[in-house]
Structure 1
């Protein structure tokens, strides 16, 4: 038996909730939320939990704002208010659910990695990237709409020029402030000359990816625009129709070229402000034997440049790791490989070499 009439959507939604919520509670709330915070755990919480929720909220907000703008100043194409706003409740629900889910996963993330850590930076650059993607699409649509307005077609197919422009403005209004909020925050920290911010792996990956993707998209757009131009010249010559056909690749070229050029310039500025790395002379391999690893392995590897493995003592006599003490012990050894054993009396350093 299926629900019919005005309650059919409510019944479908209730069925989805009844199936999905128990599965989420069993697998996430009762098990994985309290599990060890491994790389796989963060790979779910960051891109899926935080990122997916943010995308849902941005898409929902964009649809709702667009529908309001079209009804207010755009071209609703003769639809009644009920018809025009039929999808707005779903868009609003996406905003609410997305924001609640984002808030929840953000709290989980803060509890798992308190303070300003690399996980915090990954979160900030992820949010900045999502917002920048929306704003970039908005710029592209605005350029497309401007070309359509300057070079009108003989007859209009699809969305009107006004509505295309409003779609671009909507994405700029939704994505622009969000991008600026996160990007200006990390930018202030980087401009303050904090070395850990300038040299952050998350920042480097963010800048390189945007520079690379923007560059690739710009090159592809140039090729497509050139193909359309050559095709038009061979067929009818350069006229308004050819210019109009080139509007999308040209708009993508302008938007992605700005994104690529800007982030490439930021990356080069970061590299110029980082101090020259000192050549480290020390062990190439470090084995730490003691208490369970609480990030000490990554910290020692970063500070010494060595490959680090951590083994846990089973007798429970090891004290907590102190990164500075471990680095000092490693640096004092002239061997290519070092074992640092944490015991009740402190650290014991043993140089090693292959037989």
Structure 2
């Protein structure tokens, strides 16, 4: 009797082959899109300069552009059609590879288009017509619009990481705006300083030097405003958006603010302790210093108000990040100051280089120390409320890890300098002079590690719970609303891994996001099944295992 093998299932395999297929497909799609965009940019550039007799193009470049556009373009269209079909999107929409591809490509396209277009506008102020920048900006702008449309598509857009691309775009716009304002304000201050000191600087007119960064500031502000307010990044509570907020308010703006204060204090100390160089040279960093402090403070104050509306975890992460930046400045100040003091063993402290080094170290130490005292509040560091701060022990472990890495590197440098000194003692340079930079850095690292180790020991001895214990490990949602907002809201409220099973037939009057989150309040289980029913009903079922 002959047995008949069962027919293979039509359901696609989960993971394995399907994952490999997605990765290869999206890599090929990204490659062909990039090549096609490059070819179209070259052809568009030639179109813009078709009537200009002074410009000639080589046949090699034209052949490259034609091959890239004519061959890669249709291949990209074919791959996109195979990916965009309903059958393919049904399987790929909930996978992580689809949103990762869209986020990466939309970000790359946005960066290329905005950088080239803003550079084209800024350079047009002094250099005139540049067809290349305009062509590249237009083509990659269309690529960005295309991928942004796919991200926001109601039926085929990804159900995961939907807020990542707008959050990154808002960060890019803010970076352009803040950077442009820093350079514009800095050049205005430099012009005023040059007028005050009577310095004669041969350069482009001041209005051109100021207008060029203002182009970047205006373009970046428009990009940030559109995504922050119109797209709604400001009101998003997605995990990725919170990470962006912590980076802006806790790291980037704080670092720019600290740099501005440090450079300003350095200029003041140079003036107070007596000039050893022309006043124009001493005041040279003042423009960028004041601009960095002002713009950094402006960005910090605005985003601090946004952070205040977020969860306790986001607020704590921002404070810890600010404390880390301040600590880095203070520690570098200790290392540079000790470096300058060690240099006095063979040189006079009043020498120009050593004196500037010492003042720079003291400036970083004072600014970083004050900001660290304000953010870390060491007198209250071991209170029960502070010990229970979310992420605090992770912060301490990161400090230990960074300190260990820096200490290892500096010890290797010191060891190298020691053996080099012993083997080459006739150079006339002392061991301290050879290794004073590493010795200063090692001392600062030891001080930082010692203090935070003591804090860590007190935390362990206090027996205070560090963070809220995760109540649920896994949540399976049965609903027709598979939006990223719902998934992220459940993930944030429970800390669980969330899986969505989409209903074949939508129930009338399904509950909204707030109702589903409220139904999970107080539930504790390793795995929970949540069924969104009709007329706003929510059924929560605890599962075994």
Match of 1:287, SS state, is: strand
Match of 2:377, SS state, is: helix
| 1:236 matches 2:441 | no
| 1:208 matches 2:397 | yes
What is the aligned partner in structure 1 of residue 384 from structure 2?
193
1:32-54 deviation per Cα after TM superposition (whole angstroms, max 9, x unaligned): 34233323323333214552222
Aligned to 2:530, which of 296, 316, 340?
340
| 1:69 matches 2:269 | yes
Structure 2: distance between partners of 1:8 and 1:311: 63
Q: 1:311: Cα distance to partner?
A: 7.2
Contact map agreement 1:297 1:309 (CA 8 A) in 2: no
1:35-46 alignment runs, 5 A limit? 35=233, 36-46=236-246
What is the aligned partner in structure 1 of residue 315 from structure 2?
120
Q: 1:126: Cα distance to partner?
A: 1.1
Aligned to 1:78, which of 269, 277, 281?
277
Contact map agreement 1:286 1:337 (CA 8 A) in 2: yes
1:214-261 deviation per Cα after TM superposition (whole angstroms, max 9, x unaligned): 111112111211221122122228986222111111111110111122
1:84-119 deviation per Cα after TM superposition (whole angstroms, max 9, x unaligned): 2133123112211111121122223334x1xx6111
Q: 1:310: Cα distance to partner?
A: 6.5
Structure 2: distance between partners of 1:325 and 1:123: 30
1:119-158 alignment runs, 5 A limit? 119-149=314-344, 151-153=345-347
Contact map agreement 1:199 1:274 (CA 8 A) in 2: no
Aligned length: 331
Aligned to 2:491, which of 297, 300, 307?
297
What is the aligned partner in structure 1 of residue 258 from structure 2?
58
Match of 2:528, SS state, is: strand
Cα–Cα, structure 1 residues 157 and 338, in superposed 2: closer, same or farther, change >3 Å?
same
Please give the TM-score of this superposition, normalised by the length of structure 2: 0.53
Cα–Cα, structure 1 residues 327 and 146, in superposed 2: closer, same or farther, change >3 Å?
same
Match of 1:339, SS state, is: strand
Please give the TM-score of this superposition, normalised by the length of structure 1: 0.78
Match of 2:376, SS state, is: helix
Q: 1:346: Cα distance to partner?
A: 6.5
Cα–Cα, structure 1 residues 58 and 285, in superposed 2: closer, same or farther, change >3 Å?
closer
Contact map agreement 2:313 2:391 (CA 8 A) in 1: yes
Match of 2:365, SS state, is: helix
Cα–Cα, structure 1 residues 120 and 311, in superposed 2: closer, same or farther, change >3 Å?
farther
Which region of structure 1 is more displaced relative to structure 2, 13-22 or 204-213?
13-22
What is the aligned partner in structure 2 of residue 21 from structure 1?
218
Cα–Cα, structure 1 residues 156 and 44, in superposed 2: closer, same or farther, change >3 Å?
same
Contact map agreement 1:57 1:98 (CA 8 A) in 2: yes
1:248-267 alignment runs, 5 A limit? 248-267=437-456
What is the aligned partner in structure 1 of residue 25 from structure 2?
none
Cα–Cα, structure 1 residues 314 and 229, in superposed 2: closer, same or farther, change >3 Å?
farther
Q: What residue ranges of structure 1 are gaps of 5+ in the alignment?
A: none
What is the aligned partner in structure 2 of residue 177 from structure 1?
370
Cα–Cα, structure 1 residues 192 and 241, in superposed 2: closer, same or farther, change >3 Å?
closer
Contact map agreement 1:141 1:165 (CA 8 A) in 2: yes
Match of 2:529, SS state, is: strand
| 1:31 matches 2:227 | yes
Q: 1:158: Cα distance to partner?
A: 8.5
| 1:225 matches 2:424 | no
1:189-225 deviation per Cα after TM superposition (whole angstroms, max 9, x unaligned): x63323xx53555212221111111111112111211
What is the aligned partner in structure 1 of residue 115 from structure 2?
none
| 1:90 matches 2:288 | yes
Structure 1: distance between partners of 2:313 and 2:473: 24
Q: 1:122: Cα distance to partner?
A: 1.0
Q: 1:314: Cα distance to partner?
A: 6.4
| 1:104 matches 2:294 | no
Which region of structure 1 is more displaced relative to structure 2, 134-143 or 307-316?
307-316
Contact map agreement 1:215 1:257 (CA 8 A) in 2: no
What is the aligned partner in structure 2 of residue 165 from structure 1?
358
Cα–Cα, structure 1 residues 261 and 315, in superposed 2: closer, same or farther, change >3 Å?
farther
Structure 2: distance between partners of 1:177 and 1:317: 53
Structure 1: distance between partners of 2:472 and 2:243: 32
Match of 2:237, SS state, is: coil
Match of 2:342, SS state, is: helix
Q: 1:294: Cα distance to partner?
A: 7.1
Q: 1:72: Cα distance to partner?
A: 1.4
